[in-house]
Structure 1
Amino acid sequence: RNSVEVMMEKSGLNRFLDAMVSNEDVSKGKPDPEMYLKATELLGLKPAECLVVEDNENGIKAARDAGCHVMVVRDVLDVTDENISRELATLQNP
């Protein structure tokens, strides 16, 4: 969990997070959807109300299997306000 927190802080992505779930918080890792289901529960949201930003195939599968929307990125530089806003707009106006 500590490594995830450090990575999020160094990348500046922690400002986007209202909750954080790591592999230490669940019994099954990705591609099982447990991690995302736990995160949506912590946020008090339904999975269909959440946008997950993911960069690996197991995470993408886990998020989709949980019922979340997924923004696939290939690099941390893809995670920008503009790209996230664009993705959210497509979800709000399909």
Structure 2
Amino acid sequence: MRKVFQLIITRTEVTKSKPDPESYNVCRDLLGLEKEDCLVFEDTVNGIRSAKAALLTCYAIQSNTDEHHKLNIADQLFLDLREAQNYLIENDLI
């Protein structure tokens, strides 16, 4: 994964786990990014809560529609990454 990602934060790099925003804040700080330049993809309630607590835009990706009612706290909800990608392109967000 190091060939694809510039930085990987795991639970060994933080002291608090999700839904605490520490992992997202550490990552953003290390990358030197502003909050408005970040987009998080999550598939769990705690992950979404963590991203939102860090004041980041968060898209939920979940193919199991039975879980969608739990994930509606995300900024957008998609069945898969391709659907999210299409949304980003169609709305000139990337």
When normalised by structure 1's length, the TM-score is 0.67
Q: Is the Cα contact below 8 Å between 1:71 and 1:87 reproduced in 2?
A: no
Task: Look up the SS of the partner of 1:61 in the other structure.
Answer: helix
Gaps of 5+ in 2: 64-78
* Matched residue, 1:79: 81
Higher-helix-fraction structure: 1
Write out aligned runs for 1:49-68 (5 A): 49-68=37-56
Match of 1:37 among 25, 30, 46: 25
Q: Which runs of 4+ in 1 moved over 4 A?
A: 88-92
Deviation at 1:36, TM superposition (A): 0.2
* Matched residue, 2:69: none
Deviation at 1:78, TM superposition (A): 1.0
Task: Measure, in 2, the Cα distance between the counterparts of 1:88 and 1:27.
Answer: 36
* Matched residue, 2:67: none
Q: Which has the larger radius of gyration?
A: 2
Gaps of 5+ in 1: none
What is the alpha-carbon root mean square deviation over aligned residues?
A: 2.7
What percent of counterpart residues are identical? 32
Higher-strand-fraction structure: 2
* Matched residue, 1:69: 57
Task: Look up the SS of the partner of 2:15 in the other structure.
Answer: coil
Task: Measure, in 1, the Cα distance between the counterparts of 2:90 and 2:52.
Answer: 19
Q: Structure 1 residues 91 and 41 mapped into 2: Cα distance closer, same or farther (>3 Å)? A: farther
Q: How many pairs align?
A: 78
When normalised by structure 2's length, the TM-score is 0.67
